[in-house]
Structure 1
Amino acid sequence: MRLVDWLDKGASLGADAPCLTMDGRSLSYAEVQALTHRVARGLNTSGILPGQHVAILSGNDPIAFACVFAISRAAAVWCPINPRNEAAENAYVLDNFDCSALIFHSKFADLVDELRSQLPKLTLLVCVDAEQPFAPSLDKWLNGIDGAPFTAAPVSDLAMLPGTGGTTGHPKGVMLTNRNLEAMTALTLMGYPFEGRPVYLAMAPLTHAAGVLAFPIMAHGGEVVIMPHPDIGEFLTLASRHHATHSFLPPTLIYMLLDHPALPATDLSAMQCFWYGAAPISPARLEEAIGKLGPVMAQLFGQTEAPMMISMMAPKDHLNPDGSVARHRLSSAGKPGPLVRVAIVGEDGGELPQGERGEIVVRGSLVMDGYYKNAEATTEATLNGWHRTGDIGYVDADNFLFIVDRAKDMIITGGFNVYSAEVEAALLAHPAVQDGAVFGLPDDKWGERVCAVVQLRAGQKADPQDIIASVKAAIGSVKAPKELEIWADLPRSKVGKVLKREIRALRLANNL
């Protein structure tokens, strides 16, 4: 299956069914197909050959997302550009990833105009929605383009070239093949509930998880309802109006959803699968979500290099056989998928026995082909044929994977290993805490001391020492923060993750 085959599969199940919907207007599968044929032929006519790289710079937009499938139909490679990145980072990605064409939304026209003189490799610029002085609109560019079916023959299996989302250094280009995306989609379809024709509500960026999770929806001929801007109130309105069956949100937005005053009156009875992932979730708030949203919560764990489905926890896995919440499992990342192998390895690279903590490694068709033009980084991420995730975890007797921390976030204090994710989970169990970050700072006595910064839930007040005491009661004094600050807000990445490194740098600077 090529990436465009998911669209064509959905069309075969009902060409007139709604495919992409936004602001009350739907494009049918037939309409999206027709657009992709024209855009693919337009790329070919403009000299974009199979195997060349085509970038898309846009917020959530149905026409821009349709162009993803057109790129595949043209046998080119999709490079998703995060619109929230800094200009210099996007310029680096466009140049280093050898992009020949850029399809962009008019909201980013000024940015493109600023960057284009630095990007001589770009031979084609097209604006999705409005003509620019330096680029035609999509409609004008397609004027005179034959609408007959067009599909180019691929020169390789490379389908997608996203950048890593690290907080230091330049992004690395992750070479994802059609085989990788097929494995991801197959795992999704195997591991989670899909009854009837699904309706997927996409509030998260289509450049990230929200985009690739549309592929299994299309495999069932489902509808993708796109939100142009993140808004929890509007999310609830649309979920009820469209009888949404599937959605994905990172934990931070789930916490906001649970606290929203409109939630109790919102009809979410059609929901089958509410995915969460991209960052650790508080077990206490996950249990709250199951109580408020129903037994629909579904975890996924992956990374750009092995997208989405290294391990999966279906809604049923959150419950005991008697229907009660399986509290002992809520901090798990689920079971390794049936199409991947997962192992835990020690510092010497040897596999560790069940229950022991070490680095999580994975192999299978889900794993990338490597980093683009970066053999050294590819080698560093590979260990005896396994892909190194950089996460520390263990597998229990029931084959559930538990992630205890990122390897680089582990704190060694007084000779003890403290996993920041475990401390963060204890912090978020406090009723006043909305979100937080735990990190180590240099300490003359302990080597490192455990520190924390938290953000409180709206309208809540709390004393830092009371929060620390609650953590001590839950996991012991060694792991509890030695100091804790309350901030009005926390710095976050483009996809909503708390930027722990930035918080630590600010705290470290204040201590000097």
Structure 2
Amino acid sequence: MALVDYLDKGASLGPGEPCLLAGTETMTYAEVQQLSHRVAGALHRRGVRAGESVAILSGNDPVAFSAVFGISRLGAVWCPVNPRNEAAENRALLDLFDCTCLIFQAAYAPLVEKIAPLLPKIRVYVCLDGPTPLGATFAEWAAAPPVSALPSPSNADTVMLVGTGGTTGTPKGVMLTDRNLEAMSAITLMSYPFSGRPTYLALAPLTHAAGVLCFPIMALGGRIVIMARPDVGEFLNLIEARRVTHTFLPPTVIYLALAHPDVRTTDLRSLQCFWYGAAPMSTARLTEAIEVFGPVMGQLFGQSEAPMMISTMAPAEHLHPGGGLAVDRLGSAGHPSPLVTVAIMDGTGALLPPGERGEIVVRGSLVMRGYYKNPAATAEAGAYGWHHTGDIGYLDSDNYLFIVDRAKDMIITGGYNVYSAEVEQALMHHPAVYEAAVIGLPDDKWGERVTAVVQPAPGFSVDLADVMAFVRERLGGVKAPKQIEVWAELPRSRVGKILKGEIRDRLR
């Protein structure tokens, strides 16, 4: 399946059915198809060829997302660019990806005009929603009839280039093929509940998880409701008004939804699956989410290099067969997914038995082609014939995968390994703690000192002695923080991940 095949498959199930909905506007499958043909033709007329990189710099927008399928129809490579990035980071990514065309929203025209002189490889600029000195408007550019004959895309080629998070070091370009995304879509459809034509609500950025989760929805002829900007209240309203069946949010936004005054009066009965992932979720908050949203929470674990579905935990797996909460597995990332082989590896390349901790490694058609123009990083990530995730974890006797930390975040204190994620989970069970980040700081006695920064829960003040005793009782003195700081807000990246490097620098 090429990316455009998901659109065409949905159209075959009903060309007049709603495909993309935003506000009061609706685009049918036939209309999105027609637009994709015009985009492919416009790209071809401007000299963009199959295999070349075309970037989209936009917030959540139905026309911008429709253009993805025009890029695919031509056989070009879709490069989603995060509009929250700094100008320098986006310039570096566009240059790294060898982009020849940039499609962007007018809201980002000042950023584009700033970096355009430093991007000599880009020949075509197109503004989605207004005039710009750099090039034609999208309406003018895509107005001509489509080109009658275009090359057929090959599923052996790269179809998507994704920038890794640039919060640490130089970003890399992850090369994803149609086969990678087909594996991801197949796992999604195999692993989670779907009944009838799904309605998917996209609040999270379409440049990330929310975008690729659209493909399996479209394969079923489903509707995609696109939110232009994050608004938790409107998110809840849309679930009720649009009878939403599927949605995805990272844990931090789920916490905001749980705290919203309308969440317990909103009709949420249409939900079949509420995906969560992209960061660890507090088991205490997950328990609350199951109570509030119903037994519909579905976990996914993946990364750009193996998108979304390394392991999955369907809603039913959150419960025991008798109906009670499966508390023992709520802290897991679920089972390795059906089309992926997952193992735990030590530093010498040896695979470890159940219960032993090491790096989580992966094989299968979900794994990326490699890093763009970076053979050294590709070889390092694929050492010993497995893709290395950089996450530390273990498989239990029931084959549930538990992620205990990022390898770079492990703390060695007094000769013992302490996994920051385990301490963070314990902290977030305290009612006064909204969220926590745990790092190691240099210490003359311990080597590294387990240090926590906590964000108070709304309406609570944090009693440091009480929180320290709370964690010590659960984890013991070695793992309990020796130092706790209280900050009003934890620093986050543009995709919502906590910036431990910034925390470390500030505390030092």
Q: TM-score range by the shorter chain?
A: over 0.9
Alpha-carbon distance in structure 1 between the residues aligned to 2:242 and 2:506: 44
**Residue identity in the other structure for 1:303:** Q
Q: What whole-Å deviation, never above 9, does each CA across 1:156-214 have from its counterpart, x for those lacking one?
A: 52110001114211210000000000000000000000111000000000000000000
| 8 Å contact from structure 2 (residues 300, 313) kept in 1 | yes
- Establish whether residue 59 from structure 1 lines up as the match of residue 49 from structure 2: no
Question: 3-state DSSP class of the match of 1:175?
Answer: strand
The aligned residue for residue 350 of structure 2 is 350
**Residue identity in the other structure for 1:196:** G
Question: 3-state DSSP class of the match of 1:292?
Answer: helix
**Residue identity in the other structure for 2:151:** A
How much does 1:504 deviate? 1.2
The aligned residue for residue 81 of structure 1 is 81
Structure 2: unaligned runs, 5 residues or longer: none
The aligned residue for residue 184 of structure 1 is 184
**Residue identity in the other structure for 2:470:** S
| 8 Å contact from structure 1 (residues 19, 32) kept in 2 | yes
Alpha-carbon distance in structure 2 between the residues aligned to 1:23 and 1:200: 14
Question: 3-state DSSP class of the match of 1:448?
Answer: strand
The aligned residue for residue 403 of structure 1 is 403
The aligned residue for residue 417 of structure 1 is 417
**Residue identity in the other structure for 1:56:** I
- Establish whether residue 153 from structure 1 lines up as the match of residue 152 from structure 2: yes
The aligned residue for residue 479 of structure 2 is 479
Alpha-carbon distance in structure 2 between the residues aligned to 1:161 and 1:150: 25
**Residue identity in the other structure for 1:153:** S
The aligned residue for residue 457 of structure 1 is 457
- Establish whether residue 103 from structure 1 lines up as the match of residue 103 from structure 2: yes
The aligned residue for residue 119 of structure 1 is 119
The aligned residue for residue 382 of structure 2 is 382
The aligned residue for residue 466 of structure 1 is 466
Question: 3-state DSSP class of the match of 1:50?
Answer: coil
Q: What whole-Å deviation, never above 9, does each CA across 1:98-150 have from its counterpart, x for those lacking one?
A: 0000000001001101111100000000001111122211001123x114766
The aligned residue for residue 491 of structure 1 is 491
Question: 3-state DSSP class of the match of 1:113?
Answer: helix
Alpha-carbon distance in structure 1 between the residues aligned to 2:433 and 2:18: 41
Question: 3-state DSSP class of the match of 2:252?
Answer: helix
Alpha-carbon distance in structure 2 between the residues aligned to 1:152 and 1:461: 62
| 8 Å contact from structure 2 (residues 89, 166) kept in 1 | no
Alpha-carbon distance in structure 1 between the residues aligned to 2:345 and 2:496: 30
| 8 Å contact from structure 1 (residues 37, 150) kept in 2 | no
Structural mapping, 1:318-337, within 5 Å: 318-337=318-337
After TM superposition, where is structure 1 displaced by more than 6 Å over at least 4 residues in a row?
Answer: none
Alpha-carbon distance in structure 2 between the residues aligned to 1:70 and 1:209: 20
How much does 1:62 deviate? 0.5
How much does 1:447 deviate? 0.3
Q: What whole-Å deviation, never above 9, does each CA across 1:41-72 have from its counterpart, x for those lacking one?
A: 10001100000000000011110011111100
**Residue identity in the other structure for 2:159:** A
Which shifted more, 354-363 or 159-168? 159-168
Alpha-carbon distance in structure 2 between the residues aligned to 1:234 and 1:465: 39
The aligned residue for residue 266 of structure 1 is 266
How much does 1:494 deviate? 1.2
| 8 Å contact from structure 1 (residues 3, 178) kept in 2 | yes
Alpha-carbon distance in structure 2 between the residues aligned to 1:208 and 1:149: 32
Q: Could you tell me the TM-score, scaled by structure 2's length?
A: 0.98
Q: What is the root-mean-square deviation in Å for CA atoms of aligned residues?
A: 1.0
- Establish whether residue 14 from structure 1 lines up as the match of residue 10 from structure 2: no
Q: What whole-Å deviation, never above 9, does each CA across 1:358-381 have from its counterpart, x for those lacking one?
A: 000001100001000000000111
Alpha-carbon distance in structure 2 between the residues aligned to 1:30 and 1:241: 24
Structural mapping, 1:357-368, within 5 Å: 357-368=357-368
Alpha-carbon distance in structure 2 between the residues aligned to 1:490 and 1:429: 17
Alpha-carbon distance in structure 1 between the residues aligned to 2:487 and 2:473: 23
Alpha-carbon distance in structure 2 between the residues aligned to 1:127 and 1:44: 17
| 8 Å contact from structure 1 (residues 344, 357) kept in 2 | yes
Structure 1: unaligned runs, 5 residues or longer: none
| 8 Å contact from structure 2 (residues 161, 176) kept in 1 | yes
Alpha-carbon distance in structure 1 between the residues aligned to 2:364 and 2:17: 35
Question: 3-state DSSP class of the match of 2:136?
Answer: coil
| 8 Å contact from structure 2 (residues 39, 70) kept in 1 | yes
Structural mapping, 1:168-183, within 5 Å: 168-183=168-183
| 8 Å contact from structure 1 (residues 89, 170) kept in 2 | no
Question: 3-state DSSP class of the match of 2:163?
Answer: coil
Alpha-carbon distance in structure 2 between the residues aligned to 1:310 and 1:193: 18
Which shifted more, 166-175 or 441-450? 166-175
Alpha-carbon distance in structure 1 between the residues aligned to 2:150 and 2:264: 48
Alpha-carbon distance in structure 2 between the residues aligned to 1:413 and 1:85: 35
Alpha-carbon distance in structure 2 between the residues aligned to 1:383 and 1:114: 40
| 8 Å contact from structure 1 (residues 300, 309) kept in 2 | yes
**Residue identity in the other structure for 1:176:** L
The aligned residue for residue 129 of structure 1 is 129
| 8 Å contact from structure 1 (residues 38, 150) kept in 2 | no
Question: 3-state DSSP class of the match of 1:126?
Answer: strand
**Residue identity in the other structure for 2:26:** S
Pick closer, same or farther for the CA change 1:253–1:149 going to 2, 3 Å.
farther
**Residue identity in the other structure for 2:296:** V
Question: 3-state DSSP class of the match of 2:39?
Answer: helix
